[in-house]
Amino acid sequence: MSALSRNAQCVLQILQATGTLTTSEILEMARRTEYAEICKDCAGGDTFVAAANQLVEQGLVTKKLGKGGYHWQIVRR
C-alpha cells in the first residue's frame, strides 16, 4: 500500500477519534484547531473528500448513503 497523503491521514485521524461521521461533519472537524497541524487543505473540502474516497478504495474506510448523505466509518481490524 502506498503511503497515505496528508489529506488521507487527516480523514483517518478524524474518523479514528470519533465514530461514524457525515461528510459535512468530517469537513467541520478538519477545520478545528486540534486537527490544524494535519488538515491543511482548501476550506471547500474537495481534497478531503477525494482523499476519503481513496481510503474507501484501499479498504480502510467505508461509506454508506443514508439520512443527510454519506456516512463514513473506519474499518476496524
Partner 1 sequence: MALKPRQVLEAMNEYYEQYPACAGRSIHKLGQEASAAYSRAREKIARFINASEPAECIWTRNATEALNMVASGLKISKGSKILTTSLEHHSSSLPFVERARRSGMRIEVLRAHNDGTFDIEDWKKAIDRTTRVVSVAHSSNVTGTVTPLRDIVEIAHDRGALVVSDDAQYAPHHPLDVQSLDIDFSAISVHKMCGPTGMGILYGKMELLESLNMFLVGGDTVSDVRFEKGRILPQYLPPPAKFEAGLQNYAGAIGAGAAAEYLQSIGMIEVEKRERELLTIMLKGLKELEHVNVLGPEDVRVRSGLVTFYVDTVTSAHDIASFLSDEYGVMIRSGFHCAGPFHYQLGIPPARGTARASIYIYNNEAEVSRLLEGLHALIVTSSQEETH
CA-nearest of 29, 64, 75, 65 to 48 is: 29
Q: Is the CB of 1 or the CB of 44 nearer to partner 1? A: 44
The one among 2, 3, 64, 76 contacting partner 1 by CB under 8 A: 64
Residue 31 as a binder of partner 1 (CB under 8 A): the answer is: yes
Angstrom distance (rounded) from CA 23 to CA 47 = 12
Q: Is the CB of 9 or the CB of 25 nearer to partner 1? A: 25
CB atoms within 10 A of CB 38: 15
Q: Is the CB of 45 or the CB of 60 nearer to partner 1? A: 45
